Amino acid sequence: GQNIDQPTEMTATEGAIVQINCTYQTSGFNGLFWYQQHAGEAPTFLSYNVLDGLEEKGRFSSFLSRSKGYSYLLLKELQMKDSASYLCAVLDSNYQLIWGAGTKLIIKP
């Protein structure tokens, strides 16, 4: 079966750095997405990785290792507005998105 694993909840302090991990077992791989979803709102696109390595976009970076079936989202200089759920999704061999359950990130002052 296809499976995406990410921690259910994480807590971090304002101004700090946090890393949210995602591991996957899917039938094929055509890329990995990270989305941010604030409570009661729609998911919004953060990043897409298809090659191994780190993609940096401002305070957010996303890393991929295809051989390990592993990705992480790194958030630097955390702000209160970063409190949200972060969703990992993998595009499988049929170009269907397989979604993780999301990681709820709580930022404390």
Which one of 12, 20, 26, 43 is in contact with another protein (CB under 8 A)? 43
Alpha-carbon dihedral 51, 57, 59, 65, rounded to 10 degrees: 0
The verdict on 21 binding another protein (CB under 8 A) reads: no
- Token pair, residue 71, equals 């990705």
31: left (phi over 0), alpha (psi -120 to 50) or beta: left
Distance CA 94, CA 75 (A): 30
Which one of 41, 52, 56, 77 is in contact with another protein (CB under 8 A)? 41
Which one of 30, 66, 74, 83 is in contact with another protein (CB under 8 A)? 30
**Which residues of this protein are in contact with another protein, per CB under 8 A?**
4, 8, 30-31, 33, 40-45, 48, 50, 87, 89, 91, 95-102
